[in-house]
Amino acid sequence: MSISRLVVGTRGSPLALAQANIVRDRLIAGIGLDPDQVVLEVIRTTGDMIQDRALSEAGGKGLFTKELDSALQAGAIDLAVHSAKDLPTWLPDDLTIAGYLEREDVRDVLIAPNARGLADLRPGAVVGTASLRRAAQVRRLRPDVTTGLLRGNVQTRLARLHEGRFDATLLASAGLRRLGVADPSATILELDEMLPAVGQGAIAITARTGDTPVLAALDRIICPDTGHALAAERAFLTVLDGSCRTPIAGLAQVRDGRLLLRGLLLALDGSEWVETVREGPVSDARALGDDAGRDIQARANPALLQHQGDRN
């Protein structure tokens, strides 16, 4: 069965639209559709309407996906584009992750008008972020630094920072690149100081389970190595339950059929952490992730895991 029209569901934020347009361009080039055969359908999610609270207090990641899931289930869209980072570990049975585009830069960036890195922040600096993972890793290296809630889309956060309320903020390099933002105050953070979130830098595409024509079309634009990396990272996160109140970082990198996975769990204030590394063939991706999660579970101070299962 050949495809005559594809409806791509996306959130309406500038980053979401940029990502949906990347997928749309790939579909047009990859399966030879006319531009007018691939249309974007913008869907507002609950998460887009919450500006004042940390997401961890408002109910977690599913807030960005629920409405897109419903649109897929209702047949209003044929595929949905997500930041893999914001995709919950659990999906409804009738939906599936068709795959991921080739991953962008996975690293985080420090945006600080007066500092060239974490070590260079003034004593007692205030870093704005809504990410427990970023806050914990900043405080691991700089216990003197305090963190304050700064959320909203990328442009909002940059605007608040440059108003002078914070000394610095952290953003994903991938998002800045996709938005074409080149902030002169940006310094890339290396993986040893700031391990990214599971899925960071990857664009995920979901579709209906068993929708063969759509899944076959998506097969032609997805990146298998990113799929292996994400399988390991998501298995890792699933073991630890990825509670929004537990800072967790994880990154798998694939080279020549081998996968290297790093996982990290931290105390909220960065005073304690447990890390683990697994290496093996990509065919074992899920098992490596699972194993890494269990290793952290076994070695972590139980107090670090106490928020497990909090997610609703």
Task: Write out the residues near ligand PBG by the rule CB under 6 A.
Answer: 83, 85-86, 154, 171-172, 174-175, 200-201
**Closer by beta carbon to ligand PBG, 67 or else 86:** 86
Burial class (CB in 10 A: 0-12, 13-18, 19+), 29: exposed
**Closer by beta carbon to ligand PBG, 173 or else 297:** 173
Cα torsion angle, 40, 46, 51, 57, sign:
negative
Largest Cα–Cα separation, the chain: 63
- Give the span between the Cα atoms of 148 and 181, in whole angstroms: 23
Q: How far is the CB of 123 from ligand PBG (least distance, A)?
A: 26
Q: How far is the CB of 248 from ligand PBG (least distance, A)?
A: 14
DSSP conformation letters of 241-305: TT-TTS-EEEEEEEETTEEEEEEEEE-TTSS-EEEEEEEEEGGGHHHHHHHHHHHHHHHS-GGGG
Burial class (CB in 10 A: 0-12, 13-18, 19+), 134: buried
Q: How far is the CB of 172 from ligand PBG (least distance, A)?
A: 4
Tokens standing for residue 271: 């005073």
Q: How far is the CB of 203 from ligand PBG (least distance, A)?
A: 7
**Distance, CA of 102 to chain centre:** 14
**Closer by beta carbon to ligand PBG, 200 or else 206:** 200
**Closer by beta carbon to ligand PBG, 48 or else 272:** 48
Q: Which phi and psi angles does 271 have, rounded to 5°?
A: -80, -20
Selecting among 78, 86, 225, 284, the annotated active-site residue is: 86
Q: How far is the CB of 162 from ligand PBG (least distance, A)?
A: 16
**Closer by beta carbon to ligand PBG, 137 or else 297:** 137
Q: How far is the CB of 197 from ligand PBG (least distance, A)?
A: 7
Does residue 86 carry a catalytic annotation? Answer: yes
The residues annotated with a catalytic role in the active site are 86
